Structure 1
Amino acid sequence: MNKIIMLFIAVFISLPVFAQENLEEVKIVKKRKGILKSYTVTGNTTIITSKELLKAACCNLAESFETNPSIDVNFTDALTGTKQIKMLGLTSPYLMITEENVPSVRGASQAYGLSFTPGTWVESIQITKGAGSVVNGYESISGQINTELIKPISDIPFFLNAYGSTDSRFELNTHFNTKISEKWSSSLFLHGNTRVSKNDMNDDGFLDNPLAKQVNVLNRYQYYNEEKGLVSFVNFRYMNDKKQTGELNFDKNRDRGTTNYWGSEINTERLDISTKVGYVFKDMPYQSIGFQNAFNIHDQDSYFGLNQYNIKQSSYYSNLIFNSIISNTMNKFATGLNFTYDKYQEFVNINDYSRIDNSVGAFFEYTYDNDDNFSLILGGRIDNHNRLGTFITPRLHARYNPWEQGVLRFSAGRGKRSANIFAENQPLFASSRKFSVLNSDGNIYGLNPEIAWNYGLSFAQKFSLFGRNADVGIDFYRTDFQNQAVVDLYVKPTILGTQQVQFYNLMGKSIANTMQLEFNYELAKHLNLRSAYKYYDVTTDYLAGKYQNPLQAKHRFFGNLEFETHIKEKGQQWKFDYTLNWIGQQQLPITGLNTINNQTPQVSPSYSLMNAQITRTFSSTFEVYIGGENIGNYKQKNAIIGNENPFGSNFDASVIYAPVFGQMYYAGLRFKIK
């Protein structure tokens, strides 16, 4: 495969535009590092490779960030076991989450979408802090996460992964790959998971994790013609996910819609079809064109006690990209057109919030790189949206290497988005809270669009300490909202004592100031330390005053130790991995007017979580692994407020700052046919 085609596949089919420089350097270190950080790429981008993903169970995409300090992983509620990610102190809706540069987790899928991509399907993940590339759209505010799936052209003929855990979760993944012809390859990914037993480790009468069943199928086709410079992908995907949670004695056939026992079901069916075509001009290898199209239907039927929530989203996305140079290869540009269509059929109890959103936009992104110590990416786009209006989105990324093995980066950009207030806050349905939207003159649920500016400055330096490799990094980011769909959990209960959640346009300031200090060191041969301290100042002006955003720790510490033995001739090897997360105090929603036994303190206690995994590789084709999560067995006390009366005015399962289940241990195996 020649160099031109390799560059095309990486740039126009896979990697973000701002990460296209020096890809050969990334390939060189890929075999020995799980997390890659280039000192010559313009954006502040981290690449999580497949090696890093194997250091934890990584059952789905939401669980793939446990060993990475840039992403914070939190539980969303005390019932569904769903994990939510945060970056720069902001939840995932403020991230642009893409799959091979096509928007994936958005709209109706915000709450649970990360759990719909199995970890074994993932080849790598690119994490970019700050506003992303304008090529991918205008919604990115705090960052971008792009997932690369395993490519048919490079996949092995067969892969098997089996997994089981002490919380009765079982998974099976199989991959089949075949070379159809000289130019066509195909992969079939099959995933199934289930949880069959009821667990109540904290004795509150509610399931700690849902009874669940998921079937997920992906069929990929890749066409590659080296002579013509043509590459294309066609993907077909179907997913069916069912969850049941609530009280131990809840029977969905008997108790749904009654007050016998509190229960919930979340049933989701999803269909995705996508295509990509890319062409490199043979006479001008620096010039190419790519065309992406994606269609999906996301259909969720759910209820939470007596609250009914149904949403169906039908979407179409199209992106045309043209890449070329200006005079020479130090001056590159990407330009093109986007089109997005979203049809929402959304029902909250008896209220119909259905709508149609569509937008068309054009973008231009200029890249300057002197192939030495400076690069710059300046981009802008103009979009016309039927609800957001016509607006301009500017983005800037810059890199400067002041000396060898040191890099200074700066970024700034604007993001704009529609807040899907019900889909993004589904855990609040598992409470007695009364939902109120205070504004009515906006175009999205009566609210105005969210607009924010993000600014970032980072510095990283490699050096030698006591004869061993080390590196440090520090970054500062600030997100400043011009408008935000505020989710207010600090509002006082109604006269009848019912808790509330209010949604309204920002009336004041909402900012997120974050700092991360990272230190990585090779303690000994094959023994590496990765550590980070993170500080978050995330505040909003609520109706009751200025507060730290709820359930957001101001201080966090991350540490990871990894050790690998020497690989023997037959591929035999031991791998050990240990991760520590210390989470500081978190501001909790107001519960002061609840009955005394259902009140929570103003802030949560700080706590630590420990995860570990041991992998034994017997050959290049077979390995087994065992591991544990929350080994210290830390559990949140009184995780469900008002659990003794789930249909009463104090009930709330959404105030979660720590694990509910406690210790969890797992084991699994991986088998390959190469």
Structure 2
Amino acid sequence: MKTKLFSVALLFILSFFSTGVMSQTVKGKVYGVIGESKEFIDGATVVFTGTNIGTLTDEKGFFELENTDNYKSITVSMIGYESDTIEITSGKLIFVHLRSNLTTEQIEVEENRNSKFTGKEIIPTESLTLGEFKKAPSCDLAGCFGSSVTVESKTTDAIFKLKELKILGLDGQYSQILFDGIPIFSGLNAKYGMGSIPGSMLAAINISKGTNSVLQGAESMSGIINVIPRDFNSSEKVFLNLYMNDMLERQINLNTAHKFENWSTILSGHLTGEAMRMDYNRDGFLDAPLVYRNMIYNKWTYDSPAGNFKFELAGKYNSETKTGGEQSFNESSDKWSDDVYGQVIDFKIYDLYSKAGRTFENGDEIKFFAGFSRHDNNSYLGTLEYIATQNIFWTSGFYSWKINSDAKLNSGLSYRFDHLTENITMSESKIRSLLPKYENKEHFPGIFSELDYTNILKNLSLLAGVRVDFHNQYGTVVTPRGLLRYQLAENTLLRGSLGTAFRVPKVLIENMNVLSGSKDLLIANNLNPDKLVNFGITLTQDIKFDFIDGTLNLDFYRSDFSSRVISIYDREPGKVFVENLEGNSYSNVFQAEINVQTPLNFSFTGAYKFTDFILDHKGIKKNEPYVPKHQLVATISYATDENDFLVDLTTNWFGKRPLPSTKFNPPKYQYADFSEPYAVVNLQATKVWEMLEIYAGLENIFDVEQKNPIIAADDPFGPYFDTSFVYGPTTGREFYVGIRYKILR
């Protein structure tokens, strides 16, 4: 019988009251857990304590015993898990959670179908795990959030289909993306590098809203997306994923993991081949860019025999070329031409990072982190050429003092260097108000301290920290943050957060979709950094009723900008103004989400989000463009008893989005002030064998597509051409098929 991967961070034992002296039926479910993620245990032994009277759990972890002698407790055991004894105090369903005691050499990687959850830690964290990534093709990082209402993966331009990851309604630049906990995925990487992280190389994605820990810096304004790549412990010996869609785009993903005494390693590779040239909407432009991409990632991990020291070293290389524009565009003959419009992006990313940690006998810890990223970008955008290089270096180290069994103090130092050089060459027929070169060097050392106290009062925990950064351009930046966690009842948890954030805008990168069109970009002098205060509150209620097991989460977050760089699209025709906010800007976000697991082989996730995002600038108050007030997400998953056939159906519904004014355009290029609501429905079916999986699916089943996503597509060199006016799907229905093959350890 297969042994499954479980390594427990938290163990819950639920007791229920029972009465009566007559025979009663004892029913329950047995889970193994990893963090807050859990999976049914098949074949666990359940006996009345001190007897041989018992049974085994089935594939769904369910057991049933007739208690004819009125026994008071049951004992649950399974090879690879610590046994547990639970008192029988009710006739209701008993939930049992077992702790894994396997070593990593004994582990076989399996995916949990109930693989999206919100943890119980003081920082509310939504986690997407291996099983979640398999419910859709998840071809790259941006494609991993189809079932998440917390993160919106929004397309920002109609040529290259570049995406941003939005949290709390705020644009993607306000989200801090960490790769394996290292903050080097920003700027050019965040704009272009989503494809450099294929979903098949990921073990998990952890999402936290608002401001939280100060350890990774002050830049997380709307939240943190921590992308966790697979390592030896979370990978099969060999994993191969082959994918192709109906536009004949092909992808190959390969992972292989090995262990050498105290060292372990994983090697991941990715290759994307170009799709066919397609123009289903007949606007003269390619429906999807032609993409050629390759990526390689290698990570080495050392664990000392004593278990008190760990070292990690990893590197990643990515090379990508994208070609878009008119269907007949050929780079070699049409570049700088005024006859055929096209765009080409060619970039390379080099990443290197390391982590080290030592635990002492008294419980103290010391940790060091370092990361470097270089991005070389050469982009031709129809009427201009953009050549840029960005070098990012970040390092941090801290000492963790164990004050007592419930409290620790983390204090340390950090340093960040960010050097961005941008060169622009413009077509003689399209001169804009841009300089030929932009260069910015940021370097800022910092100090920080954070107290983590899990029981400062009964049922109350505290995480409070402050960091002070010394920025070479903006002086001293103080960032205080605090979080509280209060256990209202056994299954009810209340958490709150309050903190500030600070970041320096990358103006050209964040307005790249404007450079792709015909509008002139006018950048004001003396732009200020972005600053905000964020407040949040989260209520988590566990649902445990008969055969239903689930969680309800209710969130409210408010973000108030005290300083913000904004882009104004509708002040003058043909111009976009980038300037400091003169007024205020704030967002209020309410979110409700329920996750339910049933004994009928179905699981359900439903979520609703309300966003009120206001921009009040120079006395003009309006809704933030492209942010819908209402959004619904629902996912229904089904698995057979043998878990050999899986079906996943996901629906994303978006309400009306406020749109930038097009009043200066000719009537045929004008749009309404609000988009129409729309829904995107995706379906995937997977057939599973021991070493092989075949999956097939339809994305956007009902062929919902934004009409005319490119303004003035019939006049790409004219004054009204605009590729940034994207509020909905820019491609229609897509069919795909794929194969996953694995060799287990």
TM-score, with normalisation over the residues of structure 2? 0.83
- Correspondent of 1:368 among 427, 434, 453: 453
- Correspondent of 2:506 among 396, 420, 423: 420
Question: Per chain length, whose mean CA-contact separation is higher, i.e. which structure has more relative contact order (CA < 8 Å, sep 6+)?
Answer: 1
Tell me which residue corresponds to 2:615.
540
Taking the aligned partners of 1:201 and 1:513, their CA distance within structure 2 comes to 39
Taking the aligned partners of 1:353 and 1:272, their CA distance within structure 2 comes to 24
In the alignment, does 2:118 pair up with 1:37? yes
Tell me which residue corresponds to 2:497.
411
Tell me which residue corresponds to 2:476.
390
Taking the aligned partners of 1:27 and 1:7, their CA distance within structure 2 comes to 9
In the alignment, does 2:262 pair up with 1:186? no
Displacement, 1:524? Answer: 5.2
Tell me which residue corresponds to 2:417.
341
Number of residue pairs matched by the alignment: 635
In the alignment, does 2:442 pair up with 1:357? yes
Tell me which residue corresponds to 1:667.
737
1:590-640: CA deviations, max 9, x gaps? 111211111111111111100111111011x21111111111101111111
Tell me which residue corresponds to 2:430.
none
Q: Letter of the 2:406 partner, please give it.
A: M
Preserved CA contact (<8 Å) 2:611 2:628: yes
Tell me which residue corresponds to 2:341.
262
Tell me which residue corresponds to 1:632.
702
Distance change >3 Å, CA 25–CA 416, structure 1 → 2 = closer
Q: Letter of the 1:342 partner, please give it.
A: D
Within-5 A mapping of 1:444-523: 447-464=527-544, 467-493=547-573, 499-522=574-597
Please give the secondary structure, in 2, of the residue aligned with 1:47: strand
Q: Letter of the 2:471 partner, please give it.
A: H
Within-5 A mapping of 1:98-247: 98-179=178-259, 181-227=260-306, 229-247=308-326
Displacement, 1:33? Answer: 2.4
Taking the aligned partners of 2:229 and 2:190, their CA distance within structure 1 comes to 20
Preserved CA contact (<8 Å) 2:515 2:521: no
Whichever of the two has the greater Rg, that structure is: 2
Please give the secondary structure, in 2, of the residue aligned with 1:132: coil
TM-score, with normalisation over the residues of structure 1? 0.91
Q: RMSD of the TM alignment (CA)?
A: 1.9
Moved more, 515-524 or 259-268: 515-524
Displacement, 1:465? Answer: 5.3
Preserved CA contact (<8 Å) 2:37 2:115: no
Taking the aligned partners of 1:397 and 1:26, their CA distance within structure 2 comes to 20
Taking the aligned partners of 2:546 and 2:250, their CA distance within structure 1 comes to 45
1:337-379: CA deviations, max 9, x gaps? 1111111111233521112111100110101112972211001
Q: Letter of the 1:573 partner, please give it.
A: D
Preserved CA contact (<8 Å) 1:111 1:425: no
Tell me which residue corresponds to 2:398.
321
Tell me which residue corresponds to 1:601.
672
Displacement, 1:473? Answer: 2.0
Gap runs ≥5 in structure 2:
1-6, 10-31, 40-110, 426-434
Please give the secondary structure, in 1, of the residue aligned with 2:195: helix
- Correspondent of 2:711 among 637, 641, 650: 641
Displacement, 1:134? Answer: 0.3
Please give the secondary structure, in 1, of the residue aligned with 2:317: strand
In the alignment, does 2:648 pair up with 1:577? yes
Taking the aligned partners of 1:366 and 1:197, their CA distance within structure 2 comes to 55
Distance change >3 Å, CA 358–CA 605, structure 1 → 2 = same
Distance change >3 Å, CA 232–CA 248, structure 1 → 2 = same
Distance change >3 Å, CA 255–CA 535, structure 1 → 2 = same
Taking the aligned partners of 1:524 and 1:279, their CA distance within structure 2 comes to 44
Preserved CA contact (<8 Å) 1:337 1:361: yes
Tell me which residue corresponds to 1:299.
376
- Correspondent of 1:290 among 344, 348, 367: 367
Preserved CA contact (<8 Å) 2:350 2:375: yes
Please give the secondary structure, in 1, of the residue aligned with 2:510: coil
Tell me which residue corresponds to 2:167.
87
Displacement, 1:24? Answer: 6.0
1:167-214: CA deviations, max 9, x gaps? 3221001112222x3111222111101223111121100011101100
Gap runs ≥5 in structure 1:
1-5, 9-21, 494-498
Preserved CA contact (<8 Å) 1:491 1:590: no
Moved more, 469-478 or 572-581: 469-478
Preserved CA contact (<8 Å) 2:165 2:175: no
Distance change >3 Å, CA 64–CA 228, structure 1 → 2 = closer
Taking the aligned partners of 2:484 and 2:273, their CA distance within structure 1 comes to 46
Taking the aligned partners of 1:543 and 1:199, their CA distance within structure 2 comes to 45
Preserved CA contact (<8 Å) 2:247 2:275: no
Preserved CA contact (<8 Å) 1:109 1:423: no
